[in-house]
C-alpha cells in the first residue's frame, strides 16, 4: 500500500525511469481500481499519505513538504509537475504530430519521396513507388532552460497553490521559447502566398493551398489573431469547448508570440511536425530535497523536424 512505500533520493536517478515511474512500480495504480483512490496516481497518493494539500481553501505552504525526510523527496516532483503543466498546456500540442525520444544530441530521421502521381495502373505496369530512406541532414537538439533563484526562507511560508502558479508561468514561457524553434522549422521552405494586407479572402486562399491534407490549425501572432477575430465574416465564428476559435473552414486559430506579425502559418497538425526530445523536463533534485533552493534549474533538450512538407503553407504580409 502507498503508506508503506519507502521514499528515497535515489528514485530520481534510476536508469530509464523517472520518479513517477519508479513510484508506480512500488505502488501500482491498478491495485486501486474500484476504491476511493482510483483517480489518484502514485505521486498523488503520496501527497495524501503525508496530508500535503497543494490547492483549495486549506492549501498548505511549501514548508509542509519538509516535515519529514521522506516527504521532502516529493518536492522536486511537485515542482516539475507544476512547470510541466504550464509547458504542456501551450501551443506546442497544437502544432506537433508526434513526439520522439532521442538519446543522443543529434537525430537523423527518415524521409519519404512520394512525388509520383497517384493514378490508376494497368495490370502489366509497375506501380508508382514511394521511397522511404534515411535522411541526410541531422537535427541538432538544443537546450532551453531557466535558472530560478529562490531561497527556502523566501518561499517556505508561500502557499503551494500560489507557488504552483508561479512555476506554471515559467513552464508557459519556456514553451514559448521552444515553439519559436518549431515555428522556424515549419516556416522554412513552406509554400506561401504574398499579400499586401490581411483579408478574409487571403485566409480562404491559404485554405485552398491544402490538397491531400487539411488545414486543421492556423498559427498566428496575437495581434494578427485580434485582426482575424474582428473580420466581419467571422462574426458567427464557433468557439470550441476549451475556448479556441474555430474558423469557418474548420481550422483552429492558435495565437502565439513565436510567430511574426507578418506571417500566418497553416498546418495539418496530424502530419506536419515531429517534436524530438532527449528527455522530458530535467530538474536538479538533490538541492530541492535538501532545502538548498537558492538555484533551481529546469531545462529541456529538443528539436523539430518537418515530416510532410506539403502539410504546411503560409501567408506572408508584405
Is residue 23 assigned to a domain? no
The DSSP 8-state label assigned to residue 73 in this structure reads T
- Inter-CA distances, 12 with 21, 38, 82, 304, Å: 10, 25, 17, 27
75 in Cβ contact with 164 (< 8 Å): no
Is residue 316 assigned to a domain? yes
The residue range of the domain holding 160 is 94-114+133-318
Is residue 34 assigned to a domain? no
Per-residue pLDDT tens digits for 116-130:
888 888 877 888 888
Per-residue pLDDT tens digits for 110-159:
888 887 888 888 877 888 888 888 888 899 999 999 988 888 888 899 99
pLDDT at 55: 92
Its pTM surpasses 0.95: no
The total domain count for the chain is: 1
Residues in the chain: 318
Per-residue pLDDT tens digits for 201-260:
999 999 999 988 999 999 999 999 999 989 988 877 777 667 788 998 889 999 999 999
User: Which candidate, 143, 135, 131, 101, places its Cα nearest to that of 306?
Assistant: 135
Is residue 155 assigned to a domain? yes
Please calculate the CA angle 302-305-308 and round it to the nearest 5 degrees: 155
- Inter-CA distances, 141 with 104, 170, 206, 225, Å: 8, 21, 31, 30
Is residue 61 assigned to a domain? no
Identify the bridge partners of residue 194 per DSSP, sorted by sequence position: 316
Per-residue pLDDT tens digits for 273-295:
999 998 788 887 777 777 666 77
- Cβ-count burial of 201 within 10 angstroms (0-12 exposed, 13-18 middle, 19+ buried)? exposed
pLDDT at 241: 64
- 58 in the Ramachandran plot: left (φ > 0), alpha (ψ -120 to 50) or beta? alpha
203 in Cβ contact with 264 (< 8 Å): yes
Please give the Cα distance from 18 to 192 (Å, whole number): 42
Please give the Cα distance from 312 to 318 (Å, whole number): 20
Amino acid at each position: 500500500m502507498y503508506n508503506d512505500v519507502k521514499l528515497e533520493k535515489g528514485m530520481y536517478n534510476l536508469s530509464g525511469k523517472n520518479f513517477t515511474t519508479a513510484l508506480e512500480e512500488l505502488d501500482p495504480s491498478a491495485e486501486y481500481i474500484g476504491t476511493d483512490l482510483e483517480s489518484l496516481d502514485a505521486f498523488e497518493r503520496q501527497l495524501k499519505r503525508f496530508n500535503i494539500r497543494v490547492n483549495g481553501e486549506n492549501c498548505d505552504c511549501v514548508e509542509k513538504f519538509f516535515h519529514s525526510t521522506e516527504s521532502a523527496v516529493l518536492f522536486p516532483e511537485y515542482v516539475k509537475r507544476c512547470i510541466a503543466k504550464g509547458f504542456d498546456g501551450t501551443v506546442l500540442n497544437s502544432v506537433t504530430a508526434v513526439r520522439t525520444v532521442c538519446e543522443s544530441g543529434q537525430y537523423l530521421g527518415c524521409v519519404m519521396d512520394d512525388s509520383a502521381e497517384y493514378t490508376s495502373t494497368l495490370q502489366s505496369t509497375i506501380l508508382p513507388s514511394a521511397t522511404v530512406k534515411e535522411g541526410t541532414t541531422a537535427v541538432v537538439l538544443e537546450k532551453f532552460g531557466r535558472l530560478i533563484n529562490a531561497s527556502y526562507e523566501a518561499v517556505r511560508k508561500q502557499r503551494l497553490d500560489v507557488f504552483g502558479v508561479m512555476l506554471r508561468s515559467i513552464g508557459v514561457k519556456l514553451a514559448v521559447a521552444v515553439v519559436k524553434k518549431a515555428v522556424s522549422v515549419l516556416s522554412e521552405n513552406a509554400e506561401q502566398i504574398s499579400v499586401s494586407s490581411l483579408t478574409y479572402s487571403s485566409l480562404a486562399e491559404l485554405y485552398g493551398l491544402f490538397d491531400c491534407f487539411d488545414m486543421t490549425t492556423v498559427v498566428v501572432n496575437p495581434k494578427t489573431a485580434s485582426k482575424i477575430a474582428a473580420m466581419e465574416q467571422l462574426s458567427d465564428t464557433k468557439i470550441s469547448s476549451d475556448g479556441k476559435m474555430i474558423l469557418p473552414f474548420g481550422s483552429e486559430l492558435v495565437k502565439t508570440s513565436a510567430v511574426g506579425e507578418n506571417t500566418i502559418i497553416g498546418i495539418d497538425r496530424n502530419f506536419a511536425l515531429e517534436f524530438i526530445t532527449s528527455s522530458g523536463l530535467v530538474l536538479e533534485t538533490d538541492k530541492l530535497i535538501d532545502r538548498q533552493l537558492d538555484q533551481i534549474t529546469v531545462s529541456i533538450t529538443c528539436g523539430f523536424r518537418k515530416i510532410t512538407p506539403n502539410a504546411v503553407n503560409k501567408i506572408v504580409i508584405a
